[in-house]
Structure 1
Amino acid sequence: MTRTQWNDVFGPHTRSLGSIIAAGQRGLAAAVPATPEERTAALWSFGYFFSLLAGYYVLRPLRDQMGIAGGVQHLPWLLTATFVALLATQPIYGALVARLPRARFIPIVYHFFVINLAAFWLLLTLNVAPVEVARVFFVWVSVFSLFAVAVFWSFMADLFTAEQGKRLFGFIGAGGTAGGLLGPIITIGLSKPLGSVNLLIPAAALLEVAVFCAYRLERAATAPPAGHAAVRAEPTRIGGNAFAALPELIRSPYLLGIAAWVSLLSFGATIVYLEQANIIAAAVHERDAQTRIFAGIDLAVGLLSLATQVFATAQVLGRWGTGAAAAALPAVYIAGFAALFLAPTLAVVIALQVVQRWMNFAIANPARQVFFTVLERGEKYKAKNLIDVVIYRGSDAAYGWVFDSLQALGLKFGGIALVAIPVVAAWLLLSVALGRTQQRRAALIEMEAPKGESA
């Protein structure tokens, strides 16, 4: 075929493909307001979070099934065991952070989880102590989900500045949302031909993809073009000791404020979750119908969050700041709890669950992650992990007992919602205060940064 004939046949298609690629690049530039170097780092971060959450959402249905296999009556004890396991693993993680550079301890954490999955696959395949293994697996996945995500966001807070985080964290978070949509599709599509136990294999593969993305992200951070500083390179290992997280938290009013914010996040989410469970159980008696409701909530949250994270989060954070963005979530809770007080119905609790989760994933969580960008490096890994993992899970357990106690006092669902309103109102005020403190800290860091360094 001559060049003329080739151009006649394939030229229009090549030009069309070029137009599509150019349009995609323009769309990416609009969605990710960044320099080319920042955009490269953001894309690897997107892939890292995508693979991580896709792997988790492959495991999550298997975890829930294992919880049933281990005995429904044992679930409260499994949740308690999860909290104890988190307390036990916190100093081990702290020791890794103190002694190894970021480029080494992050892959070690994920490779360790992959080795665990291989061990679980072997035990479940050989049918060794199935009930006991099921209970351990339930606890393990619960620990993994918190640790893996906390390590990811610690990396992001260490890598990007506050100003960069406002522009990029929404897009990066969209990677996790997209992965959360893919994971259930993999589970549904492969559970029958492979068997549920063999789903551990694609989950492990996805974790290894996450490690590869983290490796490429580290390279993008440590080798910027001459004269540029796209993201923060890691200067040295963090140092300190394995038990530094708690002292760091106690001596810092700012960290204590973030810890309170995370605990209040757990308060709102736990109260709504338990009200949802009770209202749905009372209104919908067919299991399949209940499953469809939960799936519908997850789908709506995923689609709304993904669209917002890609196209709106950076604009909201850039224009209104982290304080207003973080305050948007308690504002939703105030309106939602007021609506539940007036009408504690199925439609209201479903609407509140969708909107609060959407607002959290798309707006409030990126703002919360920016809060951590103005901390010392050790605090970003040690104290942040203590807050995101131990305090969050401990708050879940505590507020579950609070809900039960309010019911024991005779309060109905509407009354519990009314009691919750002043608590989330205080959360709103805390959000504004944290936003102001973060802005002051970011301004000081920018003033102290060497000339030419990325702010």
Structure 2
Amino acid sequence: MGARLRGFFDIRSGEALPVSLTFLYIAVVVAAFLLAKPIRNALFLRQYGPYALAYVYAAVPLALSVFVPIYTRVAARLGQRAVTVWTLMFFASNVLLFWWLFRRHPFVLLPGVFYVWVNCFGIIAPVQAWSFANSQFDTRQAKRLFGVIGAGASFGAILGGLLARVLVRPVGDAINLLLVLAALILAAAVVVSIANAKIRRRGLARRGKRHRHPFGETLDEIRRTPYLRLTASMVFLVAIATQWTGFQLSVVADQRFGGSAEALTRFFGTFNFILGIVSLTVQLTLTASVLRRYGVALAILLLPSALGFGTAAILLLPVFWPVIMTNALDQGLRFSVDKATYELLYLPIAPGARARIKNAIDIVLNRAGDATGGVLLGLTTRGFAGLPGLNVGLRGTAAINLVLLTGWFAIAWRLRREYVRTIHETIRRHRLDAERHSRRVLDRSAVSALEQKLAADDPAAVRYALSIIEQEPGGIWRRPLHRLLHHDDPEIRRRALSILSASGDQTISPVVAEMLRDPDLAVRTEALLFLSQQVGIDPVARIQELGEFPDFSIRAGIAAFLASPGRARNLDAARVILEQMIAASGEAGARDRDEAARVLSLLPEVFPDLLVKLLDDEDPRIARVAVKALSRAGAAGVPLLQERLLEEDPALRYRIIAALNKLRRLHPEVQLDRKLIELLLAAEIGGHYRSHQVLGAVGETLPSGDPVMVAMRQSMEHELERIFRLMSLLFPEAQLQDAYVGLRSANPVIRANALEFLDNVLEPHLRQLVVPLLDPQTSLRERIIIADRLIGA
């Protein structure tokens, strides 16, 4: 049975315990809050009536302004784990104190004080519970599991509503329900204590000195960061809009049941019980599938849209049932789809900053919204603190609330795009960091070390330095390279000249002219190519003057000279020479083809069709030169490369795709054949799924370390890279290369963010095929099942 439940809810290995305890923790906390709410509402409405709510709405932030700084200092000293348990025990002792005061020493302000306390508890305890949930799971796990975990809130709503409805008479009255409330809060403390002992939590347990961040610094960070600023703005509007929706429910409830605390407690308890069942059904059947299929982009818009519909109904018909329907939509969605979606918004934030930013937004800015809403509510209804009110009724509050809901929807619309951008920024930072570490970053110390090697007496050290500079060319090397043109080793002289020639350094022309008399043939050939291409010297005249040159260097020099801009330019003659060199076959013709590739790489836009012929060269080095040159050929190279996209040779196909990637980066204006690329992408995805089928069959007989298995996995890595490069051609604005690098990170948070990014930027049909190939939580067996369905067994 347990295995079936885990399979149904997609709970994977190692997740059962954290999911169960998190579910239970959230359920008990929500049950406690939703038991406290009917007691709070009944005692307050009986004493003061609904229009006094404006004062307690405004008083809650004042109470929190005293509590939060103390809480923050204690949390910094004791740690989040310990402070959560002690906070719950503190709240339980508060409840027992309220019970004693209501029974033994009641006073006029006590129901108001209790109302403020319940609201503070309803803010702090759920924030702690969801912070606990956020610490357990990464972005991908949260998206998959928050539907199940969030069902704990719905289950808690059922339990809290049921307790308020059923126990109010057996225990005597609403006040005695406070003893049940204290027991629930203590139960939550026990659950957290067990979790702290049994589960290693992400992001909360830290070693070393804890860094304190002043609250003003956190607010400044929220203000400066677009994503956090939008999140805070949305939370502020949500606080006001939902507060006014709840106020409307209090008004109609007081009109119908006013004067009886027991009747009000039973009404609110029944309401919470029924809505808890609805919310639980939505949570278990829709939340996870909505988040997986549509992501945050759609889910974040559901609640403001639903409340807008309900508020419009109140505006048209301001009576009991439209208000009930609107509050049902609020509670049914807020504790299911919307709550899970809202918690996902915090996951792109760096774990080290997440808790303090979440506390600042959820506890402080949220309550600032409550205070603002309370003051505005008083001023629009019966007045506030001696100021006269506008005396609007349900229809008037609905009209104002509809404006707030419109603003909420607009911010949520912008926030969904900013969510994707923020996730992309995290994986992009990782990519840049990875590139800085994987490349040979030439900082001052590295430059100094290479300069020392370039000046070394050992030719091997100099050649090593040249191999690095060939990958990272730059103007800083010109002076030491100039000196190497006179080095004793001919290979060093030739390679130094080749690097300077590729950089277009014409200041060395007099020295290179002397190098035409170099005793080494390869150096003389390199010098002839330089002078033909960079200076425009007639190679024929120089060859006649100097004598011995090999045939391939003579032809290459003449071709470079004839193809260079100037009066002597003759592209037809240059083409004939280069075609003959490319056609040279066998090992003897390798030098001809090599020199032709080098000449063509200097002029990629002149003869792109000849470069295409070199893509098939049996020498991989020559083919790489051709691909690299074609990527610089501009629009002229696009059709030539696209014609070869369906090559059977995977290595050649990869080089062609890579060339198109580079060409697209350098020339974003070029138009590609989308249908052809989509066809190839579908073939590559199908081929990768076929590889999983083969891997599953072979893996049953061979160990993972077998050379066949290793080769297969390497081949599949190349398939994935081709898939990503093709997707990058189709969606260049998505910057998918960042996601590709992020997926290969050793950091599970970065990997999860990369997958979440893909989930939000890929088109649905492509997302359903590609994401299972990349998600480490998708097993080989599951991929084989998809492959069987997609391409057949």
Task: Report the TM-score, using the length of structure 2 for normalisation.
Answer: 0.48
* Paired residues of 1:97 and 1:238 also in contact (CA < 8 A): no
* 2:118 paired with 1:141: yes
The equivalent of 1:451 in structure 2 is 746
Tell me, what secondary structure is at the counterpart of 1:451? coil
Inter-CA distance 233–326: structure 2 relative to 1 (3 Å threshold): same
The answer for unaligned runs of 5 or more in structure 2 is: 382-389, 431-738, 753-793
Q: Greater helix percent: which structure?
A: 1
- Residue in structure 2 matching 1:46, options 20, 23, 27: 23
The equivalent of 1:90 in structure 2 is 68
The equivalent of 2:720 in structure 1 is none
Structure 2 residue identity aligned to 1:263: F
- Residue in structure 2 matching 1:432, options 416, 424, 431: 416
Inter-CA distance 314–141: structure 2 relative to 1 (3 Å threshold): same
Inter-CA distance 45–417: structure 2 relative to 1 (3 Å threshold): closer
Structure 2 residue identity aligned to 1:44: L
Inter-CA distance 308–410: structure 2 relative to 1 (3 Å threshold): closer
The equivalent of 1:18 in structure 2 is none
Q: Distance in 1 between matches of 2:747 and 2:14?
A: 15
Structure 2 residue identity aligned to 1:266: A
Q: Distance in 1 between matches of 2:60 and 2:291?
A: 34
Inter-CA distance 390–296: structure 2 relative to 1 (3 Å threshold): same
Q: Distance in 2 between matches of 1:383 and 1:207?
A: 25
* Paired residues of 2:33 and 2:160 also in contact (CA < 8 A): yes
After superposition, residues 261-300 of structure 1 pair within 5 angstroms as 261-276=234-249, 297-300=271-274
Structure 1 residue identity aligned to 2:62: V
Q: In terms of mean alpha carbon deviation, does 290-299 or 352-361 score higher?
A: 290-299
How far has the Cα of 1:147 moved from its partner?
0.8
Inter-CA distance 410–216: structure 2 relative to 1 (3 Å threshold): closer
How far has the Cα of 1:85 moved from its partner?
0.4
Q: Distance in 2 between matches of 1:70 and 1:417?
A: 27
After superposition, residues 312-351 of structure 1 pair within 5 angstroms as 312-344=286-318, 346-351=320-325
The equivalent of 1:240 in structure 2 is 212
Q: In terms of mean alpha carbon deviation, does 404-413 or 49-58 score higher?
A: 404-413
How far has the Cα of 1:55 moved from its partner?
2.1
How far has the Cα of 1:166 moved from its partner?
0.9
Inter-CA distance 384–449: structure 2 relative to 1 (3 Å threshold): farther
The equivalent of 1:217 in structure 2 is 195
Inter-CA distance 294–185: structure 2 relative to 1 (3 Å threshold): closer
Q: Distance in 2 between matches of 1:369 and 1:122?
A: 37
The structure with the largest alpha-carbon Rg is: 2
Structure 1 residue identity aligned to 2:223: I
Inter-CA distance 278–121: structure 2 relative to 1 (3 Å threshold): closer
Q: Distance in 2 between matches of 1:96 and 1:442?
A: 31
Q: Distance in 2 between matches of 1:26 and 1:254?
A: 40
The equivalent of 2:338 in structure 1 is 364
After superposition, residues 180-199 of structure 1 pair within 5 angstroms as 180-195=157-172, 196-199=174-177
Q: In terms of mean alpha carbon deviation, does 187-196 or 85-94 score higher?
A: 187-196
How far has the Cα of 1:418 moved from its partner?
5.6
* Paired residues of 1:58 and 1:203 also in contact (CA < 8 A): yes
Q: Distance in 2 between matches of 1:44 and 1:184?
A: 22
After superposition, residues 360-399 of structure 1 pair within 5 angstroms as 360-399=334-373
After superposition, residues 6-155 of structure 1 pair within 5 angstroms as 22=1, 25-31=3-9, 33-68=10-45, 71-72=48-49, 75-125=53-103, 127-155=104-132
Q: Distance in 1 between matches of 2:314 and 2:99?
A: 44
Number of residue pairs the alignment of both structures matches = 423
Tell me, what secondary structure is at the counterpart of 2:155? helix
Q: In terms of mean alpha carbon deviation, does 112-121 or 397-406 score higher?
A: 397-406
Tell me, what secondary structure is at the counterpart of 1:165? helix
Inter-CA distance 390–324: structure 2 relative to 1 (3 Å threshold): same
Tell me, what secondary structure is at the counterpart of 1:222? coil
Structure 1 residue identity aligned to 2:233: A
Residues 161-219 of structure 1: per-residue CA shift (max 9 Å, x gap): 11111111121121122122212333344444444444333322222221222233334
The answer for unaligned runs of 5 or more in structure 1 is: 1-21, 224-230
Q: Distance in 1 between matches of 2:744 and 2:100?
A: 51
Q: Determine what percentage of the aligned residue pairs are the same residue.
A: 26
Q: Point out which structure has higher relative CO (alpha carbons under 8 A, 6+ apart).
A: 1
Q: Distance in 1 between matches of 2:155 and 2:253?
A: 27
Inter-CA distance 313–182: structure 2 relative to 1 (3 Å threshold): same
Structure 2 residue identity aligned to 1:163: R
The equivalent of 2:479 in structure 1 is none
Q: In terms of mean alpha carbon deviation, does 348-357 or 315-324 score higher?
A: 348-357
Task: Report the TM-score, using the length of structure 1 for normalisation.
Answer: 0.80
* Paired residues of 2:138 and 2:748 also in contact (CA < 8 A): no
- Residue in structure 1 matching 2:185, options 197, 207, 227: 207
* Paired residues of 2:150 and 2:336 also in contact (CA < 8 A): yes
How far has the Cα of 1:30 moved from its partner?
1.1
How far has the Cα of 1:429 moved from its partner?
1.5
Tell me, what secondary structure is at the counterpart of 1:374? coil
Q: Distance in 2 between matches of 1:394 and 1:93?
A: 18
Q: Distance in 1 between matches of 2:128 and 2:195?
A: 14
CA RMSD of aligned residues (A): 3.4
The equivalent of 1:11 in structure 2 is none
Inter-CA distance 420–148: structure 2 relative to 1 (3 Å threshold): closer
The equivalent of 2:148 in structure 1 is 171
Residues 13-58 of structure 1: per-residue CA shift (max 9 Å, x gap): xxxxxxxxx2x54134312x22131222111001111111222233
